[in-house]
Amino acid sequence: MNSEPIYILGIESSCDDTSAAVLCNGKVLSNVVANQEIHTTYGGVVPELASRAHQQNIIPVVQQAIQKANIDKNQLNAIAFTRGPGLMGSLLVGTSFAKSFAMGLNIPLIGVNHMQAHILAHFIDDKNHKKPPFPFLCLTISGGHTQIVKVNNYFEMMVLGETLDDAVGEAFDKSAKILGLPYPGGPLIDKYAQLGNPKAYQFTKPRVGKLEFSFSGLKTGILRFIQKNVKENPGFIKENQYDICASIQHTIVEILMDKLKNAVKQTGINHIAIAGGVSANSEIRKVLKEAESKFVWTTYIPKFEYTTDNAAMIGISGYLAYLQNKFSAIDTIATARLKVTE
Ligand code: KG4
Ligand code: ZN
């Protein structure tokens, strides 16, 4: 067996976070994330501004990641980068940088699927995190995706069900926008929900297939509810902000849990992981923890820093690919639309 340490540089630039990480044999030595504040004022990510910010951030972020890892760039064994899915302009910045850096260092390049990476973050070597055994189910919940994935192996995944319209992160962000909260609204709804009553208001849950999700109806329901109440009382949102947030969050988490229960019933698999930005949500984390004793599930909840977009998850995917000699050609292209199975 090769006892030489394997150093992988991971680069993530699919949306509005520029991130670089260095991993050694699957352990994270550094994970630097530069968030782009610029989108807050626009109520969502502006693609052109995102790619410009990535261009400004990419070199200092990579430099910091290498410095923090306390290694020399010549020690790197491979460079892993997000090849998709994501915003094309954003992906191109990471892809071009990764290609030229790998060429300059004369080391292999590994293109990583962002959605697989969210799931593979569970395999980061960390003494405080247990790794799920195959096969397991992963509820992938982010700003762009909502899926229940059956994970048979590191790179062998199957989508059991997904959203027919909006992603769950969008449901959080759009609800927040209706309430006049800045982007991204998910973390703020989570924060305010902790001070409110989750049963204060009831919202109708969607009627779709057992493993399918739909959030556009919920968003419209919330919009109508707010418009109606604000008409009667212009101070309605301010006066009831915490209860509204708690009720929205409670409804969303109930929808997610209902689907997970259906998936467990259908597959007989009770090793359940969550991944993606929305897995940072304190309510889903709490409810899943409780499910361990309530439903005899074993649950895998990622460390907070590996929930929202980060390069450590790209680095671990790169490391696992490296061990299987899965390298990408230098003419690999970024792909805006990419399924978790591709
Ligand atoms: O995975 P991610 O960083 O980017 C995508 O690949 O989409 O996910 C971002 C999403 C946003 O919609 C954000 O509002 C949501 O994750 N999010 C949360 C929380 N933290 C981030 N949603 C609910 N509660 C949170 N604590
Ligand atoms: Zn993501």
How many CB atoms are located within 10 Å of the residue 66 CB? 21
Residue nearest to atom 7 of ligand 1 (CA): 143
Side-chain-side CA neighbours of residue 292 (13 Å): 10
Question: pTM for the whole thing?
Answer: 0.95
Indicate the top mutation candidate among 19, 39, 142 to test ligand 1's pocket, ranked by most ligand atoms within 8 A of CB.
142
Bridge partners of residue 162, in order along the sequence: 147
Is 35's pLDDT higher than 90?
no
Bridge partners of residue 217, in order along the sequence: none
Instruction: Tell me, in angstroms, the distance from the centre of ligand 2 to residue 193's CA.
Output: 23
Nearest-5° angle of CA 116, CA 122, CA 35?
70
pLDDT (average), residues 130-154? 97
Interval 192-250: pLDDT, tens: 999 999 999 999 999 999 999 999 999 999 999 999 999 999 999 999 999 999 999 99
Give domain status of residue 340, yes or no. Answer: no
Give domain status of residue 130, yes or no. Answer: no
% pLDDT > 70, the chain: 99
Determine the atom of ligand 1 nearest the C-alpha atom of 280: 26
pLDDT (average), residues 78-107? 97
Is the distance from CB of 157 to CB of 341 less than 8 angstroms? yes
Number of domains in the chain: 2
Determine the atom of ligand 1 nearest the C-alpha atom of 142: 8
Q: How many helices (H) and strands (E) does the chain have?
A: 9, 10
Q: How confident is the model at residue 97 (pLDDT cuts 50, 70, 90)?
A: very high
Looking at residue 71, what is its pLDDT?
A: 98
Q: Which two tokens stand for residue 47?
A: 């693609």
Give domain status of residue 210, yes or no. Answer: yes
Range of the domain at 106: 7-125+306-323
Q: How confident is the model at residue 1 (pLDDT cuts 50, 70, 90)?
A: low
Instruction: Tell me, in angstroms, the distance from the centre of ligand 1 to residue 89's CA.
Output: 20
Instruction: Tell me, in angstroms, the distance from the centre of ligand 2 to residue 276's CA.
Output: 6
In angstroms, the CA 140 to CA 146 distance is: 6
Among the ranges given (1-15, 113-127, 319-333), the one the predictor scored with the smallest mean pLDDT: 1-15
pLDDT (average), residues 254-279? 98
201 and 114 in one domain? Answer: no
Looking at residue 42, what is its pLDDT?
A: 73
Give domain status of residue 332, yes or no. Answer: no
Interval 170-179: pLDDT, tens: 999 999 999 9
Across the chain, mean pLDDT equals: 95
187 and 111 in one domain? Answer: no
Q: Which two tokens stand for residue 24?
A: 């050694």
Give domain status of residue 1, yes or no. Answer: no
Q: Which two tokens stand for residue 238?
A: 């301010």
Q: Name the DSSP class of 164.
A: S
Query: Listing from the earlier edge strand, what are the strands of the sheet with 78-84?
Result: 27-35, 17-24, 7-12, 78-84, 109-113
pLDDT (average), residues 302-325? 97
**Pocket around ligand 1: residues whose beta carbon is below 6 Å from it?**
15, 142-144, 169, 172-173, 184-187, 190, 276-278, 280-281, 308-309
295 and 159 in one domain? Answer: yes
67 and 198 in one domain? Answer: no
In angstroms, the CA 56 to CA 91 distance is: 14
Looking at residue 46, what is its pLDDT?
A: 80
% pLDDT > 90, the chain: 90
Give domain status of residue 330, yes or no. Answer: no
Which amino acid makes up residue 61?
V
Bridge partners of residue 238, in order along the sequence: none
pLDDT (average), residues 290-308? 96
